[in-house]
Amino acid sequence: MSEVAKKLRERRANVWEQAKELADRAADENRAFSGEEEKSWVALNSELDALDVRIKAVLDGEQRAKDAEDAMSALRGEPRKQGGAGGQGGPEGGGDVALRNFLRGEGPRAIDVNPSGPVNFRDLSKLSSGAGGATVPTSFYDRLVAHLIETSAILQAGATVLNTASGEVIQVPKTTAHSSGGIVTEAASIGESDPAFGQVSLGAYKYGTLIQVSRELLTDTGVDLEGYLAMQAGRALGNAFGAHAITGDGSSKPRGVLTDASAGATGPNAATPVGGFGAQGTADQGADLLITLFHSVISPYRMSSACRWLMADSTAGAVRKIKTAEGQYIWQPSVIAGQPDTILGKPVLTDPNMPAIAASAESIAFGDFSQYFVRLAGGVRFERSDEFAFGNDLVTFRALMRADAALVDLTGAIKTFTGGTA
């Protein structure tokens, strides 16, 4: 991590302490913010948000610089850190040459980009080295997948990914109830208690994007063209799929996690704002609601490494202000660069596709996201056309991906906070 990123993290920690001190002072004196304090609170939180954006931009920029240097090394014929023996002449190097030739029109008009082996999406997060950022291969497929994950909070959360070569419908068992047991007296018959199962069908909905590149960019061998296309295609496909992975209704699209998640906590009616958490000093409101939601998910799911909070940025801004009955903020900022903040010890992820706080809105999801299954059919299909934008001297690339998804454990692996009514 660069000195710039370190200084930004230090500044973020300092601003958080200022905001905490401001809120603590008002709480200790049992009063609301004064006008000047309210302005300071808003300004400090705005600075926190701005610092979060800058830190992410710096870390992303450092990663892009590293990827570009790796690509330049490959173009100069220097040994690569990953790939075939000695980094030259192996499958990785050969694949890069074939891909580059395809992108420049020196080969077929279409190419399938597939993983070279099993892909564990939980290890491809580039949010930090600890989450896999130091081990992400620089192959085109894995770079594309990394960008797809960065734009889909569901994939960041650790959804289970099934890779299949073809796109026929597959049936995945889903659990709707667990077995139960009890004391059996001597010589008495043991009652049967089987888990209840159903089936969820995972198909392969097609997602696509068009990317246009100038001919000058294609012919400039000093440009990290593979990285550029991987970023553009990954983000476009990730944004499209990510929206359905949260709110999709299963009709001609994947079944979103909120569609089958069960209720864990409900906010008070007539809260301000409507659908919010109510007064922090009132029992079963404020932080109490988040604690209720936390414990509505049973311990085995809470202990999962894929257990997360998921909410929109606007909801995160409201939750950041909430305190427990002991006066402690329930939101804890991360002190490690690249690691997410936490609530009650569990990481918080934000996604713009999550509903905002509103009446009857499921604005927060919490639980074990590994019980959400994502099916990817094959790799990514890349096709190029020199004729589509001939008049503008642009080369058009088409990226296609087939995917489906659904929650397979309906016993309460993921619970939601639902806002009250007016």
3-state per-residue secondary structure call for 129-160: HHHHHCCCCCCHHHHHHHHHHHCCHHHHCCCE
Work out the mean pLDDT of the chain and round it to a whole number.
Answer: 79
pLDDT score recorded for residue 196: 61
Angstrom distances, CA of residue 340 to CA of 133, 140, 336? 14, 27, 8
Peptide bond into 273 cis (omega under 30): yes
Residue with tokens 């934008």: 389
Angstrom distances, CA of residue 396 to CA of 22, 105, 391? 54, 11, 12
Amino acid at 255: R
Alpha-carbon torsion angle 322, 326, 331, 333, nearest 10: 130
> Which DSSP state fits 305?
T
- At residue 376, the 3 state secondary structure works out as strand
pLDDT score recorded for residue 133: 34
Q: How far apart are CA 157 and CA 267, in angstroms?
A: 25
Model's pTM, two decimal places? 0.67
> Which DSSP state fits 49?
H
Q: How far apart are CA 399 and CA 211, in angstroms?
A: 8
* pLDDT at residue 319 greater than cutoff 90: yes
For the segment 339-357, what is each residue's pLDDT rounded down to a tens digit?
889 999 999 999 999 999 9
Q: How far apart are CA 357 and CA 277, in angstroms?
A: 9
Higher per-residue pLDDT: 56 or 109: 56
Residue with tokens 């619970």: 415
pLDDT score recorded for residue 97: 67
Instruction: Give the mean model confidence (pLDDT) for residues 184-199.
Output: 68
| Residue 182 pLDDT class (50, 70, 90 cuts) | low
* pLDDT at residue 406 greater than cutoff 80: yes
* pLDDT at residue 10 greater than cutoff 90: no
For the segment 261-284, what is each residue's pLDDT rounded down to a tens digit?
999 999 999 888 899 999 887 888
* pLDDT at residue 328 greater than cutoff 80: yes
Q: How far apart are CA 330 and CA 345, in angstroms?
A: 9
pLDDT score recorded for residue 199: 77
| Residue 114 pLDDT class (50, 70, 90 cuts) | low
**270: which residues sit within 8 A by CB, 6+ positions away?**
420, 422
Higher per-residue pLDDT: 196 or 403: 403
Give the number of other Cβ atoms within 10 Å of residue 377's Cβ.
21
pLDDT score recorded for residue 73: 54
pLDDT score recorded for residue 229: 83
* pLDDT at residue 26 greater than cutoff 80: no
Contact call for residues 201 and 373 (beta carbons, < 8 A):
no
* pLDDT at residue 303 greater than cutoff 70: yes
* pLDDT at residue 309 greater than cutoff 70: yes
* pLDDT at residue 335 greater than cutoff 50: yes
| Residue 331 pLDDT class (50, 70, 90 cuts) | very high
Q: How far apart are CA 206 and CA 377, in angstroms?
A: 9
Longest dimension (CA), the chain: 87
Give the E-state strand segments of 87-195 in sequence order: 110-113, 160-164, 170-177
Residue with tokens 């892009």: 64
Instruction: Give the mean model confidence (pLDDT) for residues 206-214.
Output: 90
Query: Burial of 262 by CB count in 10 Å (0-12 exposed, 13-18 middle, 19+ buried)?
Result: middle
Query: Which of 163-177, 180-194, 406-420 has the least mean pLDDT?
Result: 180-194
Contact call for residues 415 and 296 (beta carbons, < 8 A):
yes
Q: How far apart are CA 368 and CA 54, in angstroms?
A: 30
Q: How far apart are CA 256 and CA 281, in angstroms?
A: 35
Residue 236 has which token pair? 């476009």
Question: Interior CA angle at 99 toward 98 and 102, to 5°?
Answer: 90
* pLDDT at residue 95 greater than cutoff 60: no
Query: Burial of 188 by CB count in 10 Å (0-12 exposed, 13-18 middle, 19+ buried)?
Result: exposed
pLDDT score recorded for residue 115: 59
* pLDDT at residue 154 greater than cutoff 60: yes
| Residue 111 pLDDT class (50, 70, 90 cuts) | low
